């Protein structure tokens, strides 16, 4: 299995809702990432987990809460988002911190 | 930290022509330079990468060259096809923070 699987593919949520994005990989990668991508922009790093521990938080607002339950799963919990948080949320994994990222197809999030 | 510049922002070529995308980086300690292709509605896909101890790498119609002295690297696509149309991102390692830093992207359009 050489894929990173993200669910759901599309999500529409209100500003008072709580939702979660899920990411799964079975490549034995020990680093996992959340990225945010706005239209016509490069991916923007949010969080890095290395060996299931949070190692980088790029000053992301607390309304985004990551979780790594085990080495194959990564969640992003969303609460009280703003319309400007609407974007494509990408999960990625890699064998180590910088080499050979594999990206998922992303979750297209719309906050209304 | 690392800064990556990418040019051009858009590139239009005829089918069969060659396409070249250029990136410069600032961190002289960077040692890994991947290129990603992102099609509409999908996550970025790693297409080729190069490490700092190598000057050139080829994979069928794509090649990457690296000039460490000048701190720039380039993606070369020969015999372009319409299915090469996508957004291409270069990236380089930020050795201080152990993460990838992406360029701003190049939208490549190959016309039949």
Tell if the CB–CB gap between A100 and B103 is shorter than 8 Å. Answer: no
Write out chain B residues lying below 8 Å of A99, CB-based.
32, 49
Sheet holding B56-59, edge to edge: B4-7, B19-25, B72-77, B62-67, B56-59
**Minimum-distance CB partner of A42 among B42, B97, B105:** B105
Q: Is B98 on the interface with A (CB under 8 A)?
A: yes
> Could you give the CA distance from residue B23 to residue B65 in angstroms, rounded to a whole number?
10
**Bond prior to A8 in cis (omega within 30° of 0):** yes
- Chain B residue with minimum CA distance to A32: B99
Write out chain B residues lying below 8 Å of A100, CB-based.
34, 46, 49
pLDDT at B1: 80
pLDDT at B94: 82
Q: Is B102 on the interface with A (CB under 8 A)?
A: yes
pLDDT digits (tens, 9 = 90+) for A15-44: 999 999 999 999 999 999 999 999 989 999
Write out chain A residues lying below 8 Å of B36, CB-based.
101, 103
8 Å CB contact between B7 and B72: no
Write out chain B residues lying below 8 Å of A106, CB-based.
42-43
Residues of chain B with pLDDT under 50: none
Write out chain A residues lying below 8 Å of B46, CB-based.
100-102
pLDDT digits (tens, 9 = 90+) for B17-27: 999 999 999 99
CB neighbourhood size of B12 (10 A) = 13
pLDDT at A96: 75
Across chain A, which has 112 residues, the per-10-residue mean pLDDT values are 91 95 95 94 94 94 96 96 97 82 95 96
> Could you give the CA distance from residue B98 to residue B16 in angstroms, rounded to a whole number?
38
pLDDT at A11: 97
Tell if the CB–CB gap between B97 and A56 is shorter than 8 Å. Answer: yes
**Minimum-distance CB partner of A43 among B42, B44, B93:** B44
């Amino acid at each position: 299995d050489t894929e990173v699987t993200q669910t759901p593919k599309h999500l529409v949520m209100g500003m008072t809702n709580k939702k979660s994005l899920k990411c799964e990989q079975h490549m034995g990668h020990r680093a996992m990432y959340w990225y945010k991508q706005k239209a016509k922009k490069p991916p923007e790093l949010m969080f890095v987990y290395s060996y299931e521990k949070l190692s980088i938080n790029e000053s992301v607002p607390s309304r985004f809460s990551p979780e790594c339950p085990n080495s194959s799963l990564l969640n992003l919990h969303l609460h009280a988002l703003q319309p400007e948080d609407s974007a494509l949320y990408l999960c990625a994994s890699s064998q180590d911190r910088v080499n050979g990222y594999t990206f998922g197809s992303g979750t297209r999030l719309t906050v209304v | 930290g690392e800064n990556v510049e990418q040019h051009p922002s858009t590139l239009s070529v005829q089918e069969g022509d060659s396409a070249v995308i250029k990136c410069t980086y600032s961190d002289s300690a960077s040692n890994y330079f991947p290129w990603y292709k992102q099609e509409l509605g999908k996550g970025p896909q790693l297409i080729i990468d190069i490490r700092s101890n190598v000057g050139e790498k080829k994979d069928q119609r794509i090649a990457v060259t690296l000039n460490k002295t000048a701190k720039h690297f380039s993606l070369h696509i020969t015999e372009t096809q319409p299915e090469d149309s996508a957004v291409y991102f270069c990236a380089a390692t930020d050795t201080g923070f152990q993460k990838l830093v992406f360029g701003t992207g190049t939208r490549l359009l190959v016309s039949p």
